[in-house]
Structure 1
Amino acid sequence: MTSVDKQTRGREDVARRLLDSAHTLSYDPAREVDWDTPLDTGHHGASPEWSTLYGTAYWAEMTPGQQRELTRHEAASVASTGIWFEMILQQMVLRDFYAKDPTDPAFQWALTEIADECRHSIMFARGAAKLGAPAYRPRRLVVELGRAFKTIASGEAAYAAILVAEEVLDVMQRDWMRDERVAPFVRTINNIHVVEESRHMQFAREETRERLKGAGRLRKQINGLAVAVASYFIVTSMVSREVYANAGLDAERAIREAKANEHHKSMLRSSCAGLMEFLGSAGLLTRAAMWFYQRANLI
Structure 2
Amino acid sequence: MMKSLRWGILGAANFAEKHMGPAIHAAKGAELVALATSSPEKAAGFQAFAPGIQVHDGYDALLADPAIDAVYIPLPNHMHVEWSLKAMAAGKHVLCEKPMTLAEAEFDQLIAARDAAGVLAAEAYMIVHHPQFIRARELVQGGAIGTLVHVDAAFSFFNDDARNIRNQPAAGGGGLRDIGVYTFGSARFVSGEEPLAVPYAKLRFDNDVDIFAQVAADFPSFSYAAMVSIRMFPRQEITFHGDKGVLRLTCPYNANVFDAAVLTMTTDGQTVTTERWPGVNQYVLQVENFCQSVQTGAAYPCPLEFSRGTQKMIDMVFAAGGRPA
How high is the TM-score relative to the length of structure 1? 0.28
Higher strand proportion (structure 1 or 2): 2
TM-score of the pair, normalised by structure 2: 0.26
| More helix, by proportion | 1
